[in-house]
């Protein structure tokens, strides 16, 4: 395939991204068991931040390499001559890279579309209100379904069904809403979108899915910890709210067909954590923002170091030449 | 195609049943009955103005009756049909059905950008809930005894 200067740059970007991203992704995938064991020893919030950073690591690494090394070296050192043929490896990697991005983008768009449709359904079957003591607006859905969720990426909104509102005692509702507000302050919905937007290691693979699942688990636990805030009574009210909502779900067997698989970390694990006094106090310990994502900062620092090395650009350019051939 | 949950009225209470989908003709027929309140086959056929056969409209109305969306009463040897739900009730239950559908679907349909208080709402193991409830009550008694903060 014969390509001109800028087409070659685009192909090289996709190809380099795919190769670096896949390499880093496979390495991370192999380290997942060790990472999960490490996360078990951390407070929930730190574990969630750690696992989210690991999920982002291949993407950040590949992006840094492209932005800081590949593109600058190509623009500085590649002669702006006419056309040049593109080798099979480069073309294949470029196609796979493009495919990974397209699939990720499609996944994110579908999820956004479904979420917006769901919110529209809730608005049609409900009414907006402000719950006492809460800054986040709420949408009360006229449904007997046990709905209690936080929607929105930037401007959050609570979605809850009339039945949940009426069934929970004030202290239970307060604890449950604090849990949702903790998700808001952690921007967990935005993080969900980010996980969908960034490509997987391979176009149709899901080898980093265990990281995402574990992140989801620890982010729930972190929200529980933040809702209880070292207060054993509040932890108890939260546990009580969980059990009450869970019982509502059981009443709708004929309508809801999803089985509660729990994945080993659902209701049972959350309630047991909340009933343990030491867990209630764990929520008081919060790592600093930089400490939460130090892995990503290290990658950035490492890339900056490489860029500043003499001859780095020339070396990268030679690698790109080999890739094209 | 419209999807919604059919309603069965028992003791005046509306409950949710199986999901029902409507075709384009069925939707058009429902619109006519909402606008006019009630109608016979001939009335609906005239309102449709599509050049359809009498039997087609008759079959559609019968189908909607069997789906539980219409009531019918015999008057002068012909059935008079009327909608069971008002349009507002229809919209609300349709939306409610969509909410339920989103919450209850298998994996792919659960990929919503939401933080749910209790994920995977569905059938819960009753013995598990009872066990957890027991643990919870025991813990509450301990805390009340200690007078913990």
pTM > 0.90: yes or no: no
Determine the pLDDT at residue B103.
Answer: 66
Whether residue B134 has pLDDT greater than 60: yes
Percentage of chain B lying above the pLDDT 70 cut: 70
C-alpha distances out from residue B42 to A62, B11, B54, B61, B82, Å: 69, 33, 7, 11, 14
B133 vs B92: which has the higher pLDDT: B133
Whether residue B8 has pLDDT greater than 80: no
B116 vs A310: which has the higher pLDDT: B116
Determine the pLDDT at residue B38.
Answer: 92
CA nearest neighbour of A319 among A24, A27, A23, A19:
A19
- Confidence band of A252 (pLDDT split at 50, 70, 90): very low
Residues of B in contact with A148 (CB under 8 A): 116-118
Q: Which of A82-86, A125-129, A173-177, B3-7 has the highest mean pLDDT?
A: A173-177
Residues of B in contact with A108 (CB under 8 A): none
- Do residues A61 and A299 lie in contact, with contact meaning Cβ atoms separated by under 8 Å? yes
B19 vs A90: which has the higher pLDDT: A90
Q: Do A256 and B105 touch (CB under 8 A)?
A: no
For the segment A310-325, the average pLDDT, to the nearest whole number, is 75
Whether residue B126 has pLDDT greater than 50: yes
β-bridge mates for residue B82, sequence order: B38, B71
Q: A205 is in which domain, residue-wise?
A: 2-324
Residues of B in contact with A120 (CB under 8 A): 95
Determine the pLDDT at residue B13.
Answer: 31
Cβ neighbours around A40 below 10 Å, total: 10
For the segment A109-119, the average pLDDT, to the nearest whole number, is 87
Mutation test of the interface with chain B: which of A246, A247, A269, A277, choosing the one with the most B Cβ atoms within 10 A? A246
Read off the pLDDT of residues A212-237 as tens digits, 9 standing for 90 and up: 989 989 999 999 999 998 788 899 99
Between chain A and chain B, the number of residue pairs with CB atoms below 8 A apart is 175
Cβ neighbours around B22 below 10 Å, total: 19
A175: nearest CA partner in chain B: B117
> Class for domain B2-88, per CATH?
mainly alpha
For the segment A136-162, the average pLDDT, to the nearest whole number, is 85
For the segment B84-105, the average pLDDT, to the nearest whole number, is 74
Determine the pLDDT at residue B89.
Answer: 79
Q: Which of A27-31, A42-46, B11-15, B25-29 has the lowest mean pLDDT?
A: B11-15
Query: How many Å apart are CA A16 and CA B140, to the nearest integer?
Result: 58
Which of B91, B115, B119 faces A124 most closely, judged by CB atoms? B91
Domain count, chain A: 1
Read off the pLDDT of residues B35-59 as tens digits, 9 standing for 90 and up: 999 999 999 999 997 889 999 999 9
Instruction: Break chain B into its structural domains and give their ranges.
Output: 2-88
Q: Which of A143-157, A210-224, A241-255, B47-61 has the lowest mean pLDDT?
A: A241-255
Determine the pLDDT at residue B120.
Answer: 55
Token code pair at residue A152? 């929105």
Determine the pLDDT at residue B3.
Answer: 36
Determine the pLDDT at residue B15.
Answer: 37
Q: Do B119 and A153 touch (CB under 8 A)?
A: no
Determine the pLDDT at residue A28.
Answer: 93
Helices A188-197, A170-186: crossing angle, 10 deg rounding: 40
Token code pair at residue B142? 């301990």
Which of B102, B115, B132 faces A118 most closely, judged by CB atoms? B102
Cβ neighbours around B87 below 10 Å, total: 13
Q: Which of A21-25, A292-296, B73-77, B125-129 has the lowest mean pLDDT?
A: A292-296
A279 vs B112: which has the higher pLDDT: B112
B79 vs B22: which has the higher pLDDT: B79
Read off the pLDDT of residues A2-60 as tens digits, 9 standing for 90 and up: 678 888 889 999 999 999 999 999 999 999 999 999 999 999 999 999 999 999 999 99
Determine the pLDDT at residue A56.
Answer: 92
Determine the pLDDT at residue B20.
Answer: 59
Determine the pLDDT at residue B4.
Answer: 35
Token code pair at residue A25? 């992704």
Whether residue B96 has pLDDT greater than 90: no
Whether residue B2 has pLDDT greater than 70: no
Determine the pLDDT at residue A280.
Answer: 52
Token code pair at residue A287? 């790592």
């Amino acid at each position: 395939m014969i390509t001109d200067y800028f087409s070659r740059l685009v192909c090289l970007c996709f190809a380099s991204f795919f190769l670096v991203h896949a390499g880093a992704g496979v390495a991370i995938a192999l380290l997942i068991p060790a990472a999960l064991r490490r996360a078990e020893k951390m407070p929930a919030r730190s574990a969630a931040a750690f696992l989210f950073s690991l999920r982002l690591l291949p993407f950040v690494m590949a992006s840094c390499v492209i932005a800081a090394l590949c593109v600058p070296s190509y623009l500085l050192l590649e002669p702006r001559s006419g056309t040049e043929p593109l080798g099979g490896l480069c073309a294949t990697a470029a196609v796979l890279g493009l495919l990974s991005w397209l699939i990720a983008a499609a996944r994110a768009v579908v999820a956004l579309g479904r979420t917006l449709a769901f919110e529209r359904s809730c608005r049609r079957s409900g009414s907006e209100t402000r719950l006492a003591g809460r800054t986040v607006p709420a949408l009360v859905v006229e449904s007997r379904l046990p709905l209690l969720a936080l929607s929105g990426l930037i401007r959050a909104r609570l979605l809850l069904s009339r039945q949940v509102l009426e069934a929970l005692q004030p202290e239970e509702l307060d604890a449950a809403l604090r849990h949702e507000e903790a998700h808001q302050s952690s921007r967990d919905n935005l993080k969900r979108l980010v996980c969908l937007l960034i490509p997987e290691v391979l176009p149709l693979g899901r080898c980093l899915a265990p990281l995402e699942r574990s992140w989801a688990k620890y982010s729930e636990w972190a929200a529980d910890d933040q809702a209880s805030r070292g207060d054993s009574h509040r932890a108890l009210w939260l546990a009580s709210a969980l059990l009450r909502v869970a019982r509502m779900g059981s009443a709708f067997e004929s309508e809801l067909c999803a089985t509660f698989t729990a994945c080993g970390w659902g209701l049972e694990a959350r309630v047991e954590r909340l009933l343990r006094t030491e867990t209630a106090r764990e929520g008081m310990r919060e790592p600093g923002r930089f400490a939460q994502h130090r892995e990503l900062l290290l990658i950035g620092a490492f890339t900056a170091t490489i860029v500043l090395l003499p001859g780095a650009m020339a070396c990268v350019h030679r690698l790109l030449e080999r890739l094209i051939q | 195609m419209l999807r919604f949950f059919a309603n069965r009225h028992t003791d005046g209470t509306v409950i949710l049943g199986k999901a029902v989908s409507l075709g384009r003709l069925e939707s058009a027929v429902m619109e006519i009955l909402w606008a006019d309140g009630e109608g016979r086959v001939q009335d609906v056929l005239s309102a449709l103005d599509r050049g359809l056969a009498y039997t087609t409209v008759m079959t559609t109305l019968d189908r909607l009756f069997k789906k539980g969306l219409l009531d019918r009463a015999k008057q002068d040897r012909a059935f008079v049909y009327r909608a069971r739900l008002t349009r507002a009730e229809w919209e609300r239950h349709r939306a409610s059905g969509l909410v339920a559908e989103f919450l209850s679907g298998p994996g792919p349909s659960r990929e919503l950008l939401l933080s749910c208080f209790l994920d995977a709402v569905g059938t819960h193991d009753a013995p598990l809930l009872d066990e957890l409830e027991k643990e919870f009550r025991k813990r509450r008694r301990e805390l009340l005894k200690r007078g913990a903060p």
